[in-house]
Amino acid sequence: MIRTLAICLLLLSGLPLAVAAQDIAMPAGARLALDQQTDPGSYALPIAPFQDGRVPAEVLEGRIQEQVWRVAGQGLTTLQLLAPLRKQITAAGYEIRLDCAALQCGGFNFRFNTRVLPGPEMYVDLTNFRFLSATSGAGQGISLLVSRSATAAYIQMIRVGKAGNVTVPEGSTPPAVVPVQPQGSLAQALETTGRFILSDLDFETGASTLGPGPFKSLTDIANYLRQHPERKIALVGHTDSVGSLEGNINLSRKRATSVLERLVSAHDANRAQLEAGGMGYLAPVASNLTAEGRDANRRVEAVLVSTE
């Protein structure tokens, strides 16, 4: 069952199809967990699976709306969730650019090289997710990322439309948004939110060399992995927006790899329990228009990716 009949009514009314695409009906019981907009903004819309070290994308500009919907319960599979949404998008005149599942998309590499909204609102199981992107001739785009946990399903929808009229006072700068660090210890944060920012790490400016330390966060990660040998952690590097996307992705990946190697060599962590990847500037936690924001965006996060 679909939560509303808005899309059907719009199609029957003969209204322009681009309008209908603005009212995607979510599954019954879906709850809006996150809704944020940027106007104007840009979004690198994935159009192919991960390949040659990157996710091919088409950059769209305009009004960006990002939403996460949560569906409680164990009922629907990711395909059952995505299929009716796909049908609505194609009925609205959009052309499908990418439609893939987990490993077909690129698995870990796809997940950490495209825009994924933060937890706990959004959750992605690296072995059980589906992604779809589509564009219209009017320069509009939409993407859907669907995954689920043992107790709920998660639907991320990012839409790009025409920009509104935004007036920015001359000389003004947006406030820096400090990333919200999960409360409690690293172990508690991984268990409750699935991620932890390794804020005590120190890298040489513009380089991937990790400082000498010692770093308490790495000791905590190593201890956590020893206590939970069945679990795996992904180390994900992030940068500010200075420089090219390709260069920043490479730098962020190298920094995450440096952390992984330090964990193995200095803390005797099990390499099989670790992965490293980089997102460049694709997942900021603050505005890149301020020095404080850029500093906050340069980080490495530990992400709990497996509990099997």
Question: What would the pLDDT profile of 288-306 be if each residue is shown by its tens digit?
Answer: 888 888 888 889 999 888 6
Q: Which residues, 6+ apart, have CB-to-CB distance to 87 below 8 Å?
A: none
| pLDDT reported for residue 108 | 86
191 or 86, greater pLDDT = 86
Q: What is the pLDDT of residues 171-229, one digit of tens each?
A: 444 444 444 444 458 888 888 777 889 989 988 767 888 988 889 999 999 999 999 99
Only one residue has tokens 């003969």, namely 14
| pLDDT reported for residue 142 | 95
Residue 254: pLDDT band with limits 50, 70, 90? very high
| pLDDT reported for residue 95 | 94
Q: What is the pLDDT of residues 28-84, one digit of tens each?
A: 888 999 898 887 888 999 999 999 888 999 989 888 999 999 998 767 889 999 999
| pLDDT reported for residue 306 | 66
Instruction: Retrieve residue 238's tokens.
Output: 């992030």
Distance (Å, rounded) from C-alpha 124 to C-alpha 303? 11
Mean pLDDT of the 237-266 span: 91
| Residue 278: pLDDT over 70 | yes
Residue 252: pLDDT band with limits 50, 70, 90? very high
Mean pLDDT of the 101-118 span: 89
**What backbone phi and psi angles, to 5 degrees, belong to 76?**
-85, 140
Only one residue has tokens 């803390």, namely 267
Q: What is the pLDDT of residues 130-169, one digit of tens each?
A: 999 999 877 789 999 999 888 889 999 999 986 543 333 4
What domains sit in the chain, N to C, each tagged with a CATH number? 6-161 (no CATH), 186-306 (3.30.1330.60)
| pLDDT reported for residue 11 | 35
Mean pLDDT of the 275-284 span: 86
CA distances (Å), origin 85, targets 7, 27, 236: 10, 9, 30
Among 59, 60, 51, 161, smallest CA distance to 110 is for 51
| pLDDT reported for residue 192 | 75
Distance (Å, rounded) from C-alpha 147 to C-alpha 130? 7
**Category of 184 on φ-ψ map: left (φ > 0), alpha (ψ -120 to 50) or beta:** left
| pLDDT reported for residue 15 | 31
Distance (Å, rounded) from C-alpha 289 to C-alpha 119? 24
Distance (Å, rounded) from C-alpha 27 to C-alpha 112? 26
Determine the longest span between alpha carbons in the chain, in angstroms: 66
